[in-house]
Amino acid sequence: MPKEIFNTEEFQKLSEKATECIIKKQGETTKIKLKTSRYLYTIKLDSKAADSLLNKINCPKTEI
C-alpha cells in the first residue's frame, strides 16, 4: 500500500533514498510518487508548489 505524505520537507528527505520519481499532472494539481525499496510514497500539491519541490529532488524523474 502506498503511503501519503503531507509535509514537503519530509517528502524531500525521503527522495534521497528513492530509486524513481513519478510525476502525474491532473489539471491544477500534481501528484508526485517516490519509489523506494520498501514503500511507494505519494504527495499531492498544486502545480507551483510541485515545481519548486521537483527542483529540489535529485532522483530520476518520469512524467506520465
CB atoms within 10 A of CB 39: 14
pLDDT (0 to 100) of residue 51:
94
- Domain span at residue 24 reads 3-63
pLDDT (0 to 100) of residue 28:
94
pTM: 0.91
Is the four-CA dihedral 12, 18, 38, 48 of positive or negative sign? positive
Domain CATH code at residue 21: 3.30.720.90
Residues of the chain with pLDDT under 50: none
